[in-house]
Amino acid sequence: MYRILISFPVLLSVALAACQSAGNKDGAAPPPQTVDPGSTVIVTKDFLIPSGDSAVDFQNAGLYPQGMIRAEYPFCRFNVPAPTAGGQVIHTGKYTVGNVDYDEKDVGPGGIDVSVTKIQLQGAGSGVGYHLDCMLPIVAHGARFVTPDEIEGAVGGYMDIKVAP
């Protein structure tokens, strides 16, 4: 028993040192996870952008007003072109991913740097353009891009992501 207690801290130190040496030495975010143009976002449940707001946040399959998400979990912000006085309902339907930008130095909630996957969406019937910005706040796990599964986990219940092959 005594030998195990002494060996464990040594083993832990070696493991941590190995992890640090395998990390990104310049501090930049790891490469983005692929969400390619041609992928689709299917809104499966209508939702409301409140009056005067231009966005809502999704996290853990829930819908939140801007700024009400928890800092330690991935989230996505659905942005409309401009706020409206009466609010704006986003209806069920298919939206095509037109362009995807990966910005590893964007400013997220609270003015902190985050790695953001910026997804441009085009409504199938309306042609109206929207943005879905997905990120993991830096306080959660360091700067990195969210995975398609994390995006799905954030917007699930309202949207379904189909990544293009």
Tens digit of each residue's pLDDT (9 = 90 or more) over 2-50: 333 333 333 223 333 333 333 344 444 445 566 778 888 999 999 999 9
Chain CA centroid to CA 63, Å: 14
- Over its C-alpha atoms, the chain yields an Rg (Å, rounded) of 19
Statement: residue 106 has pLDDT above 80: no
**Domain tally for the chain?**
1
The answer to whether residue 120 scores a pLDDT higher than 50 is yes
CB count, 10 Å around CB of 94? 15
Whether 4 is in a domain gets the answer no
Integer Cα distance of 57 and 62 in angstroms: 8
Question: Which pTM value belongs to this model?
Answer: 0.74
Residue 138: per-residue pLDDT: 59
Assigned domain for 115 exists: yes
Residue 89 lies in a domain: yes
Query: Is-contact 92 44, C-beta < 8 A?
Result: yes
What domain range includes position 98? 28-162
Domain assignment of residue 11, yes or no: no
